[in-house]
Every structure is written in C-alpha cells, then in structure tokens.
C-alpha cells in the first residue's frame, strides 16, 4: 500500500489545503505533517527548492503545489479528463500561483513598509488577478472554473478568496473580492458548502 506524507505549515489554508481536501475526498490516508514557521526555517535548505508543500510518496519527495494538486486531484476525481477542461483548470491554478509570487514578498514586512507593499498590491496585481479570475469563472459558466463541476481549480480559488474575505492579509480590505469580483465571493460560499469540503473541515474539529 502506497504511503503518503504531506508537509506544510500548521494552518488551514495556503498551497497545501486543496491537496488535503482532495486526499480526504479520495478516502486516502496520509500523514498531514504541519510545521511552524521557525521549524520551516530550520528545514528549509533540506527541501529541494527551499519550499513547501512537499509530498513524500513511499519516501520519494515530490514538490510543486499545482503538480501535487493534479496528481491527488486525479485520484479524487477532481481533475478533468477532457483536455480543454483540464487546460481551463490548469490556467486557473497557474494564475493563482502567479499572484502568490507578488503577494509572498510582503510576508515578513512590518509597519509602514508592510502597509505600503499591501496597498501597492491592492492597487495593482491583486486587483488585476481578482478581476481575471472572475472572468475565468464566468467563462466556466459562473459556478465552477472547469468541467461544470468541482475541480482542483475551485478548491484552490476557494482557499484564497476565503482568506482574503476573512481579512487575513493586513491592509488588504476584506471586501475587496466582493467589490471587484462578486462572482468569486459567491463561488467561495458555494464551494464551502460542497459535501467533501464540509466533511473535510468537520474532520478537523
């Protein structure tokens, strides 16, 4: 029996959360290794690209969150079989990764430097990507991003919009999603009510 060990930060969210939900939906047991930021600092250089998540499959480490999302998503029936719909799914996930490359550098900043960096995000790339993701959702029909059903793209967007609407990022208005891409706000609430998502978070209590 294949063994899975997923290592990521100790919070509900971020790049590993869609993978955790997919494992749960697939009914596949995995070790959910949750580390603190100081622990990551100590182990960082031992990871292949100085980053997490890392999925060990029978002790072989694999990285890159979108690759992991596709792999586990296929096992959970959350990744399209049709090539075009798979492309739509990938486009959405890759857009979010691009956005995170702009957001992550603001982590660790403090005071006025943090406020200035976050305001620049709100005025620039964060707004660009929220509007763009809203367009992709519209292309998919308004309910899901691809395949007219729940896919890994929906889980990945759900995790990020939920975080933004909860006010997780200081100096980023919690109503930004609602103002710029109201369809994404509705999407978050729809995905939050999906049975596999409800079951996953119930298992965390």
pLDDT tens digits for range 124-135: 999 999 999 999
Same domain, 17 and 88: no
Percent of the chain exceeding pLDDT 90 equals: 99
Q: Domain boundary residue among 58, 77, 96?
A: 77
Tell me if 201 is assigned to some domain: no
The Cα 12–Cα 34 span in angstroms is: 10
Same domain, 64 and 153: no
Average pLDDT, the chain: 97
Tell me if 199 is assigned to some domain: no
Q: What is the DSSP string of 104-132?
A: GGGTT--HHHHHHHHHHHHHTHHHHHHHH
Does the predicted TM-score (pTM) go above 0.85? yes
Percent of the chain exceeding pLDDT 70 equals: 100
Q: For 67-88, write each residue's pLDDT tens digit.
A: 999 999 999 999 999 999 999 9
Tell me if 205 is assigned to some domain: no
Q: For 3-50, write each residue's pLDDT tens digit.
A: 999 999 999 999 999 999 999 999 999 999 999 999 999 999 999 999
Contact present, 103 and 160 (Cβ < 8 Å): no
Residue 164 belongs to domain spanning: 83-194
Same domain, 88 and 188: yes
Same domain, 99 and 177: yes
Over range 161-183, report the average pLDDT.
98
Q: Domain boundary residue among 29, 60, 77?
A: 77
The Cα 205–Cα 161 span in angstroms is: 22
Q: Who has greater pLDDT, 68 or 205?
A: 68
Same domain, 133 and 58: no
Same domain, 66 and 120: no
Per-residue confidence (pLDDT) for residue 205, from 0 to 100: 84
Over range 136-160, report the average pLDDT.
98
Same domain, 26 and 127: no
Tell me if 130 is assigned to some domain: yes
The residues with which 174 forms a beta bridge, in sequence order, are none
| Number of domains composing the chain | 2
**CA angle 203–193–151, rounded 5-degree value:** 90
Check which CATH number belongs to the domain holding 31 and give it.
3.40.30.10
């Amino acid at each position: 029996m294949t063994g899975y060990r997923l290592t990521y930060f100790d919070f509900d969210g971020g790049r590993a959360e869609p993978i955790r939900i997919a494992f749960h939906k697939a009914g596949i047991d995995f070790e959910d290794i949750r580390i603190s930021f100081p622990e990551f600092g100590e182990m960082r250089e031992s990871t292949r690209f100085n980053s997490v998540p890392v999925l060990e499959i029978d002790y072989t480490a694999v990285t890159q969150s979108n690759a992991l999302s596709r792999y586990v998503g296929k096992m959970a029936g959350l990744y399209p079989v049709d090539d075009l719909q798979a492309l739509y799914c990938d486009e959405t996930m890759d857009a979010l990764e691009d956005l995170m490359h702009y957001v992550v550098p603001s982590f660790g900043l403090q005071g006025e430097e943090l406020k200035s960096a976050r305001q620049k995000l709100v005025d620039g790339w964060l707004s660009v990507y929220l509007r763009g993701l809203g367009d992709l959702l519209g292309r998919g029909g308004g309910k899901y991003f691809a395949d007219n059903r729940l896919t890994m793209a929906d889980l990945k967007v759900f995790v990020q919009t939920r975080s933004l609407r909860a006010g997780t990022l200081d100096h980023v208005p919690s109503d930004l999603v609602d103002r710029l891409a109201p369809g994404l706000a509705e999407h978050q609430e729809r995905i939050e009510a999906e049975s596999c998502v409800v079951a996953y978070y119930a298992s965390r209590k």
